[in-house]
Homo-oligomer: A and B are copies of this chain.
């Protein structure tokens, strides 16, 4: 026997909409004569320019849903809100809108480093107070921030008493897209820590997706679903439940509740960026605006810059992290890299395998790692002196092998060691399968955590806080997803969290479309340590990389990070003096950024103006198809003349042939208003420095 439950669209099973004669009630239930559903009360907020509207309503059964429209188009159809708990009744039905408050704000703030110096935060806010009509009478708020480029919302539970523990089993937030479309997505909860190629499938064929998920709705509107300010909470994935609908599902932890909160609590912001096209998605500042301001105060010690490193030879299998005849991190090798950096406007030298702990099987088992004890053949003091004499600094490396507690126990010694040795930035690593982070509690009990679970969301922030005490910045590999926290902790300079250049050394190389996918997917999370610039275009066993040289240069503009590697070896760079000039010239910190064109997974062109300078830089990349793009140079300063130093694909350039090395370098005079034609080879690209005269 059953109870009247008016249908919630999000609960029509996938495909049902197409299959059921009566999908609108396909899963309704009944028992007693239906209670008469009073006209659903609702709350509405619009964006400052009125283009986007958010509507919150309750149905006859007291289930709460929100929906999003843009210029009348349904972006998100009514989608339910709610929670499952491990020890109390579901937060779902019998809820009413008890109060609604509206506010608006239009301010600007400054990034200490980034793609834009100044970020405008112009939004309207609606706070909806919800209250259960049942005896439980639980109450909570849902706060919506509506910008002209999207919507963010989060749950807030201000009424929970101090000390009261809330055990969240899962979050029931739905995202029911207004139509079918094409989705670019990566699977969630698989072993490889977000390091998957992006799938391009119909929205209806998505599995369980990690966020961000990028969608081009039928009709062309682009939408990205993600989250902002993931703090002390589990990362959200998107479980496919209906034809075009998804339900949030939180990353598990080792505990029964996926999230445990004490006292009043809030969730991260759930974000929905909406734009006419792919470039519009990239230009959104929604995620950054939803994060808290800088909590570290003066961060002049954070050092944007380029670096090379004792690394690619390991990735190619020629040097080893472990000690022995192949050991990479020797004093001699590092000095060679310092010499190279000093003469190539490269500020840092990364060294991996410099410390004790690499000799065993460290995969998923980093308990031998010592982050303040170098190997005997690595003379830290001498290298610190030598680097300083060349105006170069060492970039440190902490590979935990997933033993996070073991790392936390060494925080102070590890970061003091870095500070004492003039190391401003440390690259961290968590090489173990997703779900296999080792957590050891005070009582000695061991637990297996997920990279994106609540416990690790705290661990990754603990690293930042511990490092900040010593003025050290962090470049996290095998990280948690990026949710804009670099605004709050500006020493979080970069993350990996996707397939970087290293995959081009191995079987299963990144395809030519990869970077054009990344710009409109992974890069929306924030800076990525992709490690571009392998001009030799060869990986392990001299296997060819599916790129042209010009594309390798373009990546320095297209894929943003304040800390960017020149990944190839000094020996290889010596063979490419012409292209090397661009790597020498290109900065890593920007005043302004413009995405001039782009289609997800096909191509993209980005122009950026150097922070505190007059030069502009342009990068353009394509997929496996040759492409000719025209760009208007409207972004250049008016009344100023520039020399465009162009690095373009040369005759017959093609990622599939030896002509992948074909590059043409030329100069031309240009000014604002000129139009440039970019001819990109298959798998190719183009890089331009607009040098102000």
Contacts and interface: CB of A to CB of B under 8 A. Distances in A.
A271 to B, nearest CB: 23
Contacts of A334: none
Interface stretch (A46-54, A139-147, A507-515): A507-515
A182 B186 CA distance: 23
Contacts of A186: 13
Contacts of A28: 506-508
Contact of A13 (B199, B502, B508): B199
A86 B196 contact: no
B13 A196 contact: yes
Given A27-B192, A508-B25, A14 B201 contact: yes
Interface stretch (A218-226, A249-257, A289-297, A388-396): A249-257
The CB with the most chain B CB atoms within 10 A, among A32, A86, A252, A317, is that of A86
Interface stretch (A65-73, A261-269, A445-453, A484-492): A445-453
Interface in A580-598: none
B197 A27 contact: yes
A79 interface: no
A15 interface: yes
Nearest to A397: B1
A66 to B, nearest CB: 18
A211 to B, nearest CB: 15
A322 to B, nearest CB: 8
Given A14-B201, A508-B25, A240 B240 contact: yes
The majority secondary structure among interface residues of chain A is loop
A686 interface: no
A169 B252 contact: yes
A370 interface: no
Given A22-B509, A435-B84, A14 B445 contact: no
Given A1-B352, A27-B197, A436 B89 contact: yes
Given A19-B200, A197-B27, A502-B2, A14 B187 contact: yes
A374 interface: no
A195 interface: yes
Contacts of A508: 7, 20, 22, 24-28
Contacts of A552: none
Interface stretch (A202-210, A559-567, A638-646): A202-210
27 contacts: A1-B315, A1-B431, A2-B502, A2-B506, A11-B190, A13-B186, A13-B207, A14-B205, A14-B206, A19-B197, A19-B199, A21-B511, A22-B509, A22-B511, A24-B508, A27-B192, A29-B506, A32-B317, A86-B254, A86-B448, A89-B448, A90-B448, A134-B361, A170-B252, A187-B241, A204-B205, A208-B208
Number of copies: 2
A689 interface: no
A87 interface: yes
A625 B202 CA distance: 30
A21 B507 CA distance: 11
A367 to B, nearest CB: 12
A320 interface: yes
A88 interface: yes
A169 B88 CA distance: 22
A546 B196 contact: no
Contacts of A189: 239
A109 interface: no
Nearest to A6: B507
A92 B196 contact: no
Chain B CB within 10 Å, residue with most, of A186, A197, A509: A197
Contacts of A88: 446, 448
A635 interface: no
Nearest to A190: B11
A576 interface: no
A333 to B, nearest CB: 16
A433 interface: yes
Contacts of A436: 89-90
Listed residue (A25, A34, A204, A256) with the most chain B CB atoms within 10 angstroms of its CB: A256
A84 B448 contact: yes
B197 A87 contact: no
A3 interface: yes
